[in-house]
Amino acid sequence: MLTDAVKGERFRFGGISAYVAGRGAPLVLVHSVNAAASVAEVRPLFEHFAKTRQVFALDLPGFGHSERGARDYTPRLMTDALHALVAQMRARGVQGPVDALAVSLGCEFLARAAGERPADWGRIALVSPTGMNGLAPRRGAAGSTRQVPAMLGILSVPLWSGGLFNTLTRPGVVRFFLEKTWGSKSIDEAAWDYAVRTAREPGARFAPLAFLSGKLFSADVTSVYEALAQPVWMSHGVRGDFTDYRGKALFEGRPNWRVTVYPTGALPYFERPGEFIADFEAFLATPR
C-alpha cells in the first residue's frame, strides 16, 4: 500500500487526494507531471511552511493517492482540480486570496486557475515552469493543447502500454530521469524511493501516457501566463535537461513579475533549501 508522501492530514474530495498541515495564512503547493509524480516532489516546502502556515498540497488527478482511472486527462481536468481544492479550503474556513507555488507543468495548471478566478489566488510562484522554452510565444486557441495527433492512441494500445510504462518506471530509469532533473547524480533519495513506489500503483500509467502524448501541455500557455495580474515569482536552475527559459523575456519586464535563477537543477528547494525558502518568504511578504 502506498504510504503518505508528507506528514499531515490526508483528505479526499471528488476522487482527488490532498494533504493539509499547520495553521496560519494558506499556501497551496502543486507538484509537476511526469511518469511518477506526486506531492513528494514538494515535500521540503510542505514540511517547512507547515510550521508557520496552513499548507495544502494535492495529488493531481492520475497521481499519488488521487483517482488513477482510464479517463480524459487534460489541462482542464487538472485546472478544475485546483478550483475544487479551493472550494474545499473555503469549506474549512479559509478566506481571501490563496498564495500558491507550482512546479514544472503544474505551473500551467496553476496559472490557468489563477487567471480564471483571480479573486481566489494571491501570490503565484512558478518553479521551472513549462511553456517558456524557445523564443516563439504559444498563443494557440483558448484551451488548445500540444497533443501529437494519434500519439495517445498508439501509446495506449493494451498490447504494449503496460510494458512501456513499466520500463519507463523501473528504479534505474526513474533514477536516470531524476538525475536529468537535478543535473547531477546527487538526487534526493527519498524522492526517488517514493517515485518508484507510486509508479507501481494500479492505473498509474494513464495520466503519464497523456503527458507523453503532449495532451497535458497547453498550446495557449503564453496567453495564460500573460493573463496573470497577481504578483508572480518565477525561478529556475541552470543544470540538467530543463534550462531553456528564453521565453521568460516576455515577462521579465512586467511590473508584477520577478525572476530568480539558481545554480541548481530544476528543483532548487531540494538543493539550496535555505536560500530558496528565504527568497520565497520575501516574495510572500510583498503586497498583493
Q: Give the pLDDT means over successive 10-residue stretches in the chain (288 positions).
A: 96 97 98 97 98 98 97 97 98 97 98 98 98 94 93 84 93 98 97 98 96 96 98 97 96 96 98 98 94
pLDDT for the residue numbered 43: 98
- Residue 249 grid cell: 523575456
At 270, is the secondary structure helix, strand, or coil?
helix
* Residue 2 counted as domain residue: no
CATH number reported for the structural domain that contains residue 232 in this entry: 3.40.50.1820
- Domain count across the chain: 1
* Residue 243 counted as domain residue: yes
Q: At what angle do helices 75-91 and 106-116 cross, to 10 degrees?
A: 60
Q: Is 61 in contact with 33 (CB distance < 8 Å)?
A: no
pLDDT for the residue numbered 158: 82
* Residue 1 counted as domain residue: no
User: Of 156, 217, 239, 278, which is closest to residue 32 (Cα–Cα)?
Assistant: 217
* Residue 155 counted as domain residue: yes
* Residue 18 counted as domain residue: yes
SS3 helix, strand, coil % of the chain, rounded to 5?
A: 40, 15, 45
User: Of 66, 50, 70, which is closest to residue 58 (Cα–Cα)?
Assistant: 66
- What's the domain range around 84? 9-284
pLDDT for the residue numbered 170: 97
Cα–Cα dist 193/113, whole Å: 31
pLDDT for the residue numbered 152: 83
* Residue 268 counted as domain residue: yes
* Residue 197 counted as domain residue: yes
pLDDT for the residue numbered 157: 87
Cα–Cα dist 142/145, whole Å: 9
Reduced 3-state DSSP string for 65-82:
CCCCCCCCCCHHHHHHHH
